[in-house]
Structure 1
Amino acid sequence: MIDIAIVEDSKEQAAVLESHIKAYSTEHKLAVSISVFYDAITFLEKYSAFHIVYMDIMMPMLNGMDAAKLLREKDEKVILIFVTTMRQYAIQGYEVSAYDFIVKPISYPEFALKFTKVLGKLDRDLPADVFIRTDTSFVRLAPKDILYVEVKGHHCIYHTLNGEYRQYQTMKSAESALSGQCFARCNNFLLVNLTHVDRIEGMTAYVGGSALQISHPRRKAFSEAFSQYMGGIKP
């Protein structure tokens, strides 16, 4: 799933861009989630991690360039694309590490060309997906969508935002596949995605609505891994 934000005060222009994204995703069988914000202040207040942000430059209250500077304080890696009526404004985008710009009115051919380029960068930047072989099919999972992995018998159960997937696999193999992706064991049977940990209370980690038991032997290492994650350091 690719999470995209559109920050545009014109509802008409936002609808055009949203329709282009949906048309492209349908044509290329791409899973996307689109959030539309009609002012930059609301966008920044409600900001959650996005992969791509389309930002209009000329907006009331807070213009796109100033909003982009504040955005970079929250997220240094998100792909930022300016949407503007005048090319000269786009040059200032280098100050906030904008990846590209689109000039209004936005035609679908121009959008599609630039979006293909953006996806190429996204493929290079995103963590490698995990492929799960279930009893009936192959499933491709993005690490960010995995809440935790549970081992039962000779199978690993991947608890994700979109459901559960079971694969014949050892925990050691699952842990290896997700190495470097902010996962840590809270006990011998559970591998937790630290980005989805809501809180830790005593010997319990709350993850995506589930209460997971932390074992005494794993407590110190798991707590340290979570503290490092909260401090911006990958465990």
Structure 2
Amino acid sequence: MPRVLLLEDDEREADVIVNHVRRYAEETGTPLPVRWSRSPMEVQDISAACDVCLMDIDMPGMSGMEAATLLRTYDEATPIVFVTNLAQYAVRGYEVDAVGFMVKPVSYGAFKMRMEKALRVLERNRPATLAVRSRGTSRLLRLEDVVYVESRGHDVVFHLSDGGEATERATLQSTMGRLSDTAFVRVSKGVIVNAAHVRSYRGSQIRMDDGTELGFGRTMRAQAAAEISEYFGGAR
């Protein structure tokens, strides 16, 4: 459920845009809770407060451009759409990778177009995840946090970058099927590695960035090493 933050000091303009958000949510069936603040200074952490930020450029205290520049020092992903009275100022949005701008008074058509783009960017930037079910409880793992997966009896164990584990009753073959078109490579009958976490490999040995040493399966070595090399070469 994407959360929308509107930073706008003019109450009448804010009412228009909030109503546009609600209309869009109703038309598309997309829940879009919206929060309105008069200034970025009222929001302690913009990235924690929203998934999409609609930001007026001309605000007292801290301008929208200043707030966006600050946001980009620690958050490169949150989609920003600027709202402005003067279109020529909005070109500076490229400096902070804004997805677009809307000129006041904001029509519903202009709003809809920018919101659709912002939501596409949000979806594209969303970390890939995998739902793991263990003992009746589901857990959502970020694939970038999985270092490697190993078969253990009738289970598969996901080894995570923070040193934790997640266990699921499954086969390694079925798990590999769920990880197709990702950076994961099956290196032996009992192990799948995340190529993004491979520090080095030589001969039959693979060293992961958490210090774990794993081995290639004899019959899988050539194909697995080629896939890891392809990843290192930036082909994925």
The match for 1:157 is 137
Separation in structure 2 between the aligned mates of residue 50 and residue 104 of structure 1, nearest angstrom: 22
Residue 106 of structure 1, CA deviation: 0.7
Shift of 1:78: 0.7
Counterpart AA for 1:28: T
- Assess if the C-alpha contact under 8 Å between 2:81 and 2:114 holds in 1: no
Give the paired residue count. 156
Counterpart of 1:103 in structure 2 is 103
Query: Offset of 1:16 from its aligned partner?
Result: 1.2
Contact 1:3/1:33 (8 A) holds in 2: yes
Cα deviations by residue, 1:7-57 (Å, 9 ceiling, x for unpaired)? 111122112111111111111110222221111111245651532111101
Q: Provide closer, same or farther for how the CA distance between residues 9 and 37 of structure 1 changes in structure 2, counting only shifts above 3 A.
A: same
More displaced stretch, 8-17 vs 101-110: 8-17
Taking a change above 3 Å as real, the CA distance of residues 49 and 171 of structure 1, as seen in their structure-2 partners, is: farther
**1:7–1:43 Cα contact (<8 Å) kept:** no
1:71 maps to which residue? 71
Partner Cα distance (1:49, 1:171) in 2: 38
Structure 2 regions of 5+ residues with no counterpart? 141-153, 169-209, 211-236
Give the corresponding residue for 2:56: 56
1:130-209 matches, within 5 Å, as: 151-152=134-135, 156-158=136-138, 172=156, 185=164
Is 1:85 aligned to residue 82 of structure 2? no
Q: Distance in 2 between matches of 1:42 and 1:96?
A: 21
Query: Shift of residue 128 of structure 1?
Result: 4.7
CA positional deviation for 1:114:
2.1
CA contact under 8 A between 1:150 and 1:158: conserved in structure 2? Answer: yes
The Cα shift of 1:158 comes to 2.6
SS state at 1:24 partner: helix
Does the C-alpha gap of structure 1 residues 74 and 171 become closer, same or farther in structure 2, counting only changes over 3 Å?
farther
Aligned-partner residue type, residue 9 of structure 1: D
Describe the SS at the equivalent of 2:58.
coil
- In 2, Cα distance between equivalents of 1:93 and 1:187: 42
* AA at the equivalent of 2:134: V
Measure the CA separation in 1 of the matches of 2:166 and 2:23.
45
Instruction: Please give the alpha-carbon distance, in whole angstroms, between the structure 1 residues aligned to 2:47 and 2:121.
Output: 22
Shift of 1:159: 6.6
Normalising by structure 1, report the TM-score. 0.57
Q: CA RMSD in A?
A: 3.1
Distance 1:124 1:94 in 2: 19
1:68–1:172 CA distance, 2 compared to 1 (3 A): same
Conservation of the 8 A alpha-carbon contact between 1:151 and 1:171: no
Q: Identity over the aligned pairs, expressed in percent?
A: 31
Moved more, 47-56 or 26-35: 47-56
Q: Distance in 2 between matches of 1:116 and 1:46?
A: 20
Q: 2:125 maps to what in 1?
A: 125
The one-letter code sitting in structure 2 at the alignment partner of 1:78 is: T
Name the structure 2 match of 1:140: none
* TM-score in terms of structure 2 length: 0.57
1:61 to 1:28, Cα distance in 2 relative to 1, 3 A? same
Q: For residues 28 and 40 of structure 1, what CA distance do their matches in structure 2 show?
A: 29
Change (3 A) 1:88 1:172: same
Bigger Rg over Cα:
2
